[in-house]
Amino acid sequence: MGDARIQLQPLPNLHAAREVHVGWDQALQTYYAHVSNGVDATGRENFALRIGTTFEEISDPLVVVEAVCAYADVPAELDHLLDVGRRLPNATMTDLREDSRVYKNEQRYNDKMNELYRPGGFATQLSHEQVNPILAEHGWVMSEVSLINGGHSETYTRGGHELTIPWGWPDSRHGEEQLLSPVIADGKKYGVSTPEALAKTLAHVRYTPVPDPRDLQRKHEAVDENDLMERDIALREEPPDDDLSFGTGMGY
């Protein structure tokens, strides 16, 4: 296992150079917390807080979390992050400061995922205006509309095939309903985000034979008599080994 180091966002203070670090010191087998205010006139580092400097000093990450609450913006899961960092095989460095490029990228990613996610799937830019002509071109006919959490779903049929498309309600960011991916065709999920992807999916379904439930049941119940005969012959020709001298300690 390696060292784990996490840099936190300092709370507003009088020290422009303040840095707050917490982590796990593999050599000392202890969690630690360092709050540095920079260096003094002699060039020595000036610590406002420094714990976890001796062997096996701190075994509970909550001790570190409580110690830095007065100095840094502490995320709710910090104790869990510390515990995970201690268990990882390699050394890690995590920067949770607001001006950190990694932190900003993670925030943008989370914001984007929250914007796209809906209970019925992920919102696409596909609208009814784009989707309806594609459905008509491939011969799909609407058979049912039902409510889902955050929107509704439309069920279409074509020659024994069935297609379900979920739609999300308009919200503050989108003025019209959006197709939610994936769509479901004959029980299988297909991710679509463009008109071309939807058309390709429908073309694939069109040329896929419709599964007959009766055929599936017959296949499940069918018994291969030849296979049973081969297994019976094999068992008769190769009876179980009754030699107690093998691996039992009872041989002579």
Tokens of 165: 């498309």
Residue 46, by phi and psi: left (phi above 0), alpha (psi -120 to 50) or beta?
beta
pTM, 2 dp: 0.43
Tens digit of pLDDT at every position of the chain (252 positions):
679 999 999 998 888 889 999 999 999 999 999 999 998 888 899 999 999 999 999 999 999 999 999 999 998 889 998 998 898 888 888 888 877 666 666 666 556 555 556 666 888 889 999 999 999 999 999 999 999 888 899 999 998 899 999 998 887 666 788 899 899 999 899 989 899 999 999 988 877 765 555 554 555 455 455 555 555 555 455 554 444 443 444 443
- Output DSSP code: residue 152: E
Match 């999300």 to its residue by tokens: 168
**What pLDDT, on a 0 to 100 scale, did the predictor assign at position 242?**
47
Tokens of 72: 């840094």
Give 24's contacts (C-beta < 8 A, 6+ positions apart): 3, 4, 30, 31, 32, 82, 85, 86
In whole angstroms, what is the distance from residue 147 CA to residue 118 CA? 14
